[in-house]
Each structure stands twice: as structure tokens, then as C-alpha cells.
Structure 1
Amino acid sequence: MQVRDAVEADAERLAELTGRPRDVMRNLVHDRTVRVGVADDAIAGFVSFDAERETVYVTQLEGECDVCEQLLEEPIRFARGESMAVELLLPEHDDNRRDAVENHGFESSGSGPRFEGTPTVRYRLAS
């Protein structure tokens, strides 16, 4: 799988992966750092992240476990270069992405906020 920067033309596929409107995904590409994983000429997943103070926040992570594992290397690499921690929230029962983050050494740091009624778990990877 090749990882590259997302471009506005990717918004439709990102919308398909998330079930969110295309315009929302287009704004995401403009407002965040977004990397897409491309396999067999198709986007297989993506990661978006922001850096603030001493932490890189993964705002979205989509794809199968192996795709997510590769995509997580992007914010982790950035964070390590800046001596920052990495945090992300996952739905409480999201085994696929949980496996990907735990395989990278993230540890649960407790409950996160509810999104649309779904409980979340906060994961953190120290710098």
C-alpha cells in the first residue's frame, strides 16, 4: 500500500468510507493533515490528524486493521519528530481499529466523550 497526502478529489471516496457528506470530507482535507492509503489504485483508508501543544490528535482513522496500522505510522512519525504524544478516540466496541492502535503500543487512558450516543475510549501513545 502506498501512503500519500489527500487531495480534494479524494473527498468522495472519504465520504464513502465514513458515511459523511462529501463537503464535510472536502473540508477535512483542507483543515487537517490527511493521509490516504492507496492499494490497487483505490483508497483503502485514511488518517487525519492535528498537532496542538504537546499532543498530536488523530481525528479520524478509517480502513481495515492492517490499513489502519500503516496509516497510524504517519501521525506517530510526526509526533516522534516533535517529541509529542499521540491521542485518539475510538468507539468503545471497535475491535478492528482497537487492534491497530494497540499493535502500535497505544494504551487506553479511560473513557472519552460520547459521540451521537456512542461511548468512546481514549488511547494515548507517550512520546
Structure 2
Amino acid sequence: MRIRDALESDAEALATATGRPREVVRNMIHDRSVRVAVEEEGDGNGAEEGDGDGAEEGDGDGAEEGGGNGAEEGGGNGAEEGGGNGAEERDGDGAEERDASAEVSEGGEGTVRGFVAFDVRADTVHVTDFEGSGSTVRTLFEEPRRFARREGMGVEVVVPNDEETSEVIEASGFAAAGRGPRFEGRRTTRYRIESEELDEGKDE
């Protein structure tokens, strides 16, 4: 399994995984920095062995330029004034159901096992959406972490309290930092990693 930048040809696979319209997903790919975990034929080693090269090659340029432009288009904003929470992008049905949908999606190359989308606002890298199994998400979260470390920023993600994602997020180095904004009546929790915590040892 490897990590790479999302392509427009991945839109259908990501739409299937998230249950969103293809055009909405296509806008997200254009407006955000999006990485996908892809399992190619004969590759059964799991997301933990992804090389993460997408971050070094794509270098998060979309993160600096995306800046929350997808709000009107449904591309990953809402509960926090257009930035930094995956809460509004997911349907709240639970991690297991999201994992199952991600595992059957065919992307431009191989099978898409998950993805992470992020952008930059107010000197913070905001994870706006993600999908995948626990191990895949942990590997994908290394991408915004790496970008933030290089730029000297913190990383935040906000998720609804009724989603079974807290253990995966905490395993990725995040710590609960208080209540997040309500989204569609649902309570959320804000998780954050400070810039000084993003040392090399935690990413490798």
C-alpha cells in the first residue's frame, strides 16, 4: 500500500467511500490537499508500510491555497467557519461502516483504502475529512503532521462525539483540546497536536 496525492480520477472512488456526490468530491480534491492510500494488485502489506511520498512531492500546496474554499460546495467546511473539521463531511454512521465502504472503492490506480484531506487556516493545519480503517487513517494522518512540522504549525481535527474515531485520532498523536463547535445538533470534540510535538520520531 502506498500514499499519493489524490487525482481527479479518484473522485468516483472517494464518492463511493463517503456517500457524497462525485462533483462535491471533485471540488474537494481541487480545493484541498488530499492524500489517498492505495492498495495495488498483489499488495497486501497494509497501510502501515505506505511510503508517504505524496506529502514530500505534493508538499501540501493545495493546503495553502485551498484555505476553506469548499464551504459553499460541500468540500469540507461548516462547523468551524469553513475550516478544520471532518465532522461535517461524514455521515456519523460509525467507523466500521466507513471502513467497509472505503475497502471496496476502485480508484485511478488500484483500490483506494482511505484518504485524508487538509488545509491551512490561521497558522494551523486543519484535517477537514478522512476515511479508512484504523491503521490506514494513522498512516494517512502522517501527511498533515509532516506538512505542519515543516511549516512550524499545529494540527487540528474536530469530530462528532458519536463517531468511533477517538482512539484512532489519539493513536495518531492528537490530544483532546476541548469542545468543538456543534454540527447539526451533534456535540464534537476538538483534537490538536502542537507544533513542538511534531518531532521526527513521532512521524517515522
- Pick the TM interval, shorter chain: over 0.9
Letter in structure 1 aligned against 2:190: R
CA drift at 1:115: 2.4
CA drift at 1:120: 1.5
Aligned to 1:120: 188
> Between Structure 1 and Structure 2, whose CA radius of gyration is higher?
2
Aligned to 1:17: 17
Identity %: 51
Letter in structure 2 aligned against 1:45: G
* Structure 2 CA distance for aligned equivalents of residues 65 and 94 of structure 1: 13
Cα root mean square deviation, aligned: 1.2
CA drift at 1:94: 2.2
* Structure 2 CA distance for aligned equivalents of residues 46 and 25 of structure 1: 12
Q: TM-score, normalised by structure 2?
A: 0.59
Secondary structure at the counterpart of residue 152 of structure 2: coil
Aligned to 2:176: 108
Deviations, residues 24-64 of structure 1 (Å, cap 9, x unaligned) = 00000000000000123200000000012320000001111
CA drift at 1:104: 2.1
Q: TM-score, normalised by structure 1?
A: 0.93
Aligned to 1:8: 8
Secondary structure at the counterpart of residue 93 of structure 1: coil
CA drift at 1:114: 2.4
* Structure 2 CA distance for aligned equivalents of residues 45 and 107 of structure 1: 22
Aligned to 1:35: 35
Letter in structure 2 aligned against 1:6: A
Aligned to 2:118: 49
CA drift at 1:113: 1.9
Aligned to 2:166: 98
Between the two proteins, the alignment pairs up a number of residues equal to 126
Higher relative contact order (CA 8 A, sep 6+): 2
